[in-house]
Amino acid sequence: MQKVRDLLRSKIASASALLLISMTVVNAGNYVYNLIMGRWLGPSLFADLSLIVTLLLIVTFITAPIQMTTARYSAIYTASGDNETLASIRQFIWRIAAGFGIALTISFVVFAPALKNFFHTQSEIPFIIFGAAIPFSLLQGVERGIIQGQTRFKILALSYQLEMWTRLLVSITLVSLGLSVNGAVIGISLSFFFTWLMARLAVKGLFTKQTITKEVRNGIIAFSLPVLLSQLGQILINNSDVILVKRFFDADIAGQYAALALIGRIVFFATWSVVTTMFPIVAQKQKMGEPHGHLLWLSIGIVLAVSTPIVLLTFFIPESIVSVLFGPQYLEVAPLLWLYALATSMYALANVIINYRLSLGKGRETRFAIAAGIAQVLGIILFHKSPTQVVTVQVIVMATLFVSLLFWNYINRSSEETNSIVVETNV
């Protein structure tokens, strides 16, 4: 019993609670942002803004691996007190992020007219504004990764708050002044800039003329590849169902399903903070040769503690939840809400295991996520007579993914949970 109390008082539990509270506020702010923009801009202009938000999610496919890779190496070299090497790593990743960012900016500026015609938007200017801010989006991933690896979770939580509030307040102000979609996109762009600036100022003392060694560089590249695969699997799992439902069902059902997905994914985003805090702490303990297997089970326990009440609420009062959030016109999908939340819970648990092993430098588990994403796509293509079939496919695939990863971790744990210092060949 004392051991359980110690675990609950541990850094991962307290930091997860802090980030959970912070991200709840952030998600609420983003919901208010979409609600206000949708009402003020109207359907046509809001569709243009939604396209930019979708492009933002695609850019996250690059930003997230940058942050995760930086976080792992920041955790490792913070644990060993080697700020000189950490500074050289930051410089190396910073240059890669800046290069990608500038290339994307040029692409958006050059192809803005073509994008306007292809997506039938009212102007090409939003693409140019958004493109100009992409480098700051990628660079903030570097600085946030350093902060995350140093386990400075209060600063990390504050950076997400700054991003949301800048986006919300600037967009509301500029749209109310008549700048329409351009004003909303300026709000998004400035949120990248100010978040990068804050994170940049928070990262102190990491300047060096030392060049990164070949061994460390190769290790970073090798680690980033499975992280990219993990993000690809996450994109397939979190987005393919909505796209395929839009393809196979009429507009009304597709719209109802989109609302179902938005509510059901609350579980995933509510438990994201657990992975964020676990990742650098496990990497540090591995570097120092300390036991870390218990942190996996603690993280799984926290995810279960958060997701179980949500699934129960969606089971007992689905109509009330759907009515309050989206209105009575979406009530047809209410009976499926608990099943969707259950599928999302299974994926959230699987994601804990994937990120636990990534924090140890083990990347083979990402293949499970890719396989699950492909299985979900194929399953929905084969079984889509009703939304019930679509959701059932996801429950089966996500449960299989979680159980498979549990078994995989079990058969590999003896060689990884050790009290001796682990020296990796890529460090």
User: Which residues span the domain enclosing 85?
Assistant: 1-212
In a domain, 16, yes or no: yes
- Residue 426 scores a pLDDT above 90: no
The per-residue pLDDT for range 15-36, each reduced to its tens digit, is 666 776 787 788 778 878 877 8
- Residue 421 scores a pLDDT above 50: no
Contact indicator for 161, 26 with CB cutoff of 8 Å: yes
Distance between first and last Cα of the chain = 38
Size (the chain), residues? 427
Q: Do 200 and 251 fall within a single domain? A: no
Last residue of a domain, one of 212, 239, 267: 212
Q: Do 233 and 154 fall within a single domain? A: no
Query: What is residue 325's predicted lDDT score, i.e. its pLDDT?
Result: 74
Question: Looking at residues 397-403, what average pLDDT do you find?
Answer: 94
The per-residue pLDDT for range 220-234, each reduced to its tens digit, is 888 888 888 888 888
In a domain, 70, yes or no: yes
Mean pLDDT, the chain, rounded, equals 83
Q: Do 207 and 240 fall within a single domain? A: no
Total structural domains within the chain: 2
In a domain, 221, yes or no: no
- Residue 109 scores a pLDDT above 90: yes
Buried residues in 157-194 as b, exposed as e (16+ CB within 10 A): bbbbbbbbebbbebbbebbeeeebbbbbbbbbbbbbbb
Q: Do 233 and 312 fall within a single domain? A: yes
**pLDDT band, residue 376 (cuts 50/70/90):** very high
**pLDDT band, residue 407 (cuts 50/70/90):** confident
In a domain, 179, yes or no: yes
In a domain, 220, yes or no: no
Question: Looking at residues 158-183, what average pLDDT do you find?
Answer: 94
As a whole number of angstroms, the distance between CA 258 and CA 135 comes to 31
Q: Do 295 and 171 fall within a single domain? A: no
Picking from 341, 372, 44, the residue whose alpha carbon sits closest to that of residue 234 is 372
Q: Do 206 and 248 fall within a single domain? A: no
Query: What is residue 218's predicted lDDT score, i.e. its pLDDT?
Result: 86
As a whole number of angstroms, the distance between CA 255 and CA 246 comes to 8
In a domain, 10, yes or no: yes
The per-residue pLDDT for range 277-331, each reduced to its tens digit, is 777 888 877 777 777 778 888 888 888 988 999 999 999 998 988 888 777 877 8
Q: Do 19 and 134 fall within a single domain? A: yes
Neighbouring C-beta atoms of residue 251, cutoff 10 Å:
8
Last residue of a domain, one of 144, 179, 212: 212
In a domain, 128, yes or no: yes
